[in-house]
Homo-oligomer: A and B are copies of this chain.
Amino acid sequence: MAEQVLDRIKQVVGPNGWLEEPRDIEPYEVETRGLYHGKTALVVRPGSTEEVATVVRLCAEAGLPIVPQGGNTGLCGGGVPDEDGRNIVLALGRMNKVRSIDPANFTITVEAGVILADIQRIAAEHDRLFPLSLGAEGSCQIGGNLSTNAGGVQVLRYGNTRELTLGLEVVLPDGRIWNGLRTLRKDNTGYDLKQLFVGAEGTLGIITAATLRLYPKPRATATAFVALPDTDAVMSLFAQARAATGDQLTAFELIPRIGLEMAMKHVNGVVDPLEQPYETYALIEVSTASPHGDVGATLEGLLAEAFEAGTVVDGTIAASGAQRDAFWLIREGMVEGQRFEGGSIKHDIAVPVASVAEFLKTATAAVTERLPGIRPVAFGHCGDGNIHFNLSQPAGADKDTFLARWEEFNDIVHGIVAGLNGSISAEHGIGRLKCQELTHYKAPIELELMARVKQALDPKHIMNPGKVVAEAAFNALKGE
């Protein structure tokens, strides 16, 4: 029976639309960091929304579960199949057309398989900015960005992917197509259905296209690397920065001394921009599309105020594009540098912006108490309250022994996050990796509401089963 369905699916998508040789399908089965190695009977690569719809309808009729997949760059295993081999992988990569761009309307409509960097480039060619920007942008696909509500380095100014989304086209779990490709800024005609699918990681339907917001292209950028007296100063400096720049901040990134040192030690070209060492730094960037604004003067004004107020003790403004790149190389080199320092236990957490300093102090003390010598490298999108709290092993310790304590340290750190009303997944999503853990941190009523929404839209549970909503969440609905 399943064989027959697979044959029909192959006919629908044609010879270029499917893969089943082990060597061809393996890249679709493996999670990018090697966390999971799943199994699929068939990788389907439809070329159009209609093909997606037909494939989903056939799978729904036969009860075959579907795992939608974009660029397979996700960090929580949301896009890979499980090990039982029944999941069909539906990869969107062939749906890579830009359907339209309308610079006067500040919108672009793209299919799910378009690479993020291509959207940025095409927007720029039309004197527009598509602001979503993140490490994987050269290979991740916008459908995946939408499904995980991706964050990245410009959220502070432009919001997450959710805020960049005006409309969606979605294939529903029964194979029908919902065309919600609106280009409106305002539309209060009932429930805002697109919000259901953004960030749902393919568990409620398959996003096949989206209409996205564009912005005026920045004309000038100014970047500073500053030293703070201590982490307590972070939130005051952030508030000053928002006011002084008229909310034209595009980045406010935290960098700890240990991160700078790891970057300098292991990554070519990284240098300390300041003459003396300090414990805590921030990378601050301001940009404007206005030819009339002077972002350099604005940033100088901010630093003068901050020195006066004692929220900054040292700092320098990039005098050239090369110097700006050098500042950002520290930010990127910090991630790279950690790899050479042994095992690293990672966290992608968010707390209220005002609680960043408290989180850093409490979490650092707690993990150090549990394991003296552990080296927290806490960095990231501090202006969003989003800290990548990565724990490098003690120097000289055994890597595997350290990594075996991953869950133990997750528990410590996520417990502190929960106490501060924070989030255990700020921008990476839940996928399979945090699906069970989420049941400990989310209130039962919230898990139940999620299950109700899932049940309402995908009653057969064929869309990406085992991701986001844990089976246990459906218990509350039994017997209804």
Chain B residues near A455 (CB, 8 Å)?
Answer: 456
**Interchain nearest-CB distance for A349 vs B (Å):** 9
The closest CB in chain B to the CB of A384 belongs to: B185
Contact of A239 among B104, B291, B384 (CB under 8 A): B104
A190 and B469 form a contact (CB under 8 A): yes
Contact of A184 among B289, B381, B423, B452 (CB under 8 A): B423
**Interchain nearest-CB distance for A371 vs B (Å):** 27
B246 and A289 form a contact (CB under 8 A): yes
A105 and B292 form a contact (CB under 8 A): no
The closest CB in chain B to the CB of A157 belongs to: B247
The closest CB in chain B to the CB of A445 belongs to: B178
A426 and B246 form a contact (CB under 8 A): no
Chain B residues near A298 (CB, 8 Å)?
Answer: 290, 292-293
Chain B residues near A180 (CB, 8 Å)?
Answer: 446
- Specify how many copies of this chain sit in the oligomer: 2
User: Which of A80-88, A191-199, A312-320, A339-347 faces chain B?
Assistant: A191-199
B188 and A426 form a contact (CB under 8 A): yes
Q: Mark A423-434, 1 if CB is under 8 A from B, else 0.
A: 111111110001
Q: Chain A: interface residue count, which band? A: 35 or more
Distance of A353 Cα from B183 Cα, bound (Å): 8
A149 interfacial by beta-carbon distance below 8 Å: yes
**Interchain nearest-CB distance for A132 vs B (Å):** 14
A395 interfacial by beta-carbon distance below 8 Å: no
A97 interfacial by beta-carbon distance below 8 Å: no
Distance of A297 Cα from B291 Cα, bound (Å): 11
Q: Mark A238-280, 1 if CB is under 8 A from B, else 0.
A: 0100111111100000000000000000000000000000000
Contact of A352 among B103, B184, B189, B217 (CB under 8 A): B184
A106 interfacial by beta-carbon distance below 8 Å: yes
A397 interfacial by beta-carbon distance below 8 Å: no
The closest CB in chain B to the CB of A242 belongs to: B216
Chain B residues near A469 (CB, 8 Å)?
Answer: 190
The closest CB in chain B to the CB of A211 belongs to: B352
A149 and B293 form a contact (CB under 8 A): no
Q: Mark A137-175, 1 if CB is under 8 A from B, else 0.
A: 000000000001101000100011011000000001000
The closest CB in chain B to the CB of A301 belongs to: B292
A91 interfacial by beta-carbon distance below 8 Å: no
Chain B residues near A195 (CB, 8 Å)?
Answer: 192, 195-196
A186 and B385 form a contact (CB under 8 A): yes
**Interchain nearest-CB distance for A358 vs B (Å):** 11
Chain B residues near A438 (CB, 8 Å)?
Answer: 189-190
A187 interfacial by beta-carbon distance below 8 Å: yes
Distance of A423 Cα from B355 Cα, bound (Å): 41
Chain B residues near A219 (CB, 8 Å)?
Answer: 243
Chain B residues near A94 (CB, 8 Å)?
Answer: none
A423 and B189 form a contact (CB under 8 A): yes
B179 and A188 form a contact (CB under 8 A): no
Contact of A354 among B102, B148, B172, B187 (CB under 8 A): B102
Additional 19 contacts, C-beta under 8 A, given A104-B353, A186-B381: A104-B236, A105-B355, A107-B352, A160-B186, A179-B443, A180-B446, A185-B350, A186-B386, A187-B426, A189-B434, A189-B442, A190-B468, A191-B196, A191-B449, A191-B453, A216-B242, A243-B289, A246-B293, A248-B290
Q: Give 28 pairs: A residue, B residue, CB < 8 Å, sorted on A.
A: A105-B352, A148-B188, A149-B188, A155-B185, A178-B443, A179-B443, A184-B423, A185-B353, A185-B385, A186-B386, A187-B350, A188-B199, A188-B423, A190-B199, A190-B430, A190-B446, A191-B199, A191-B200, A193-B446, A193-B449, A195-B196, A196-B449, A196-B453, A216-B243, A217-B243, A219-B243, A244-B291, A292-B298
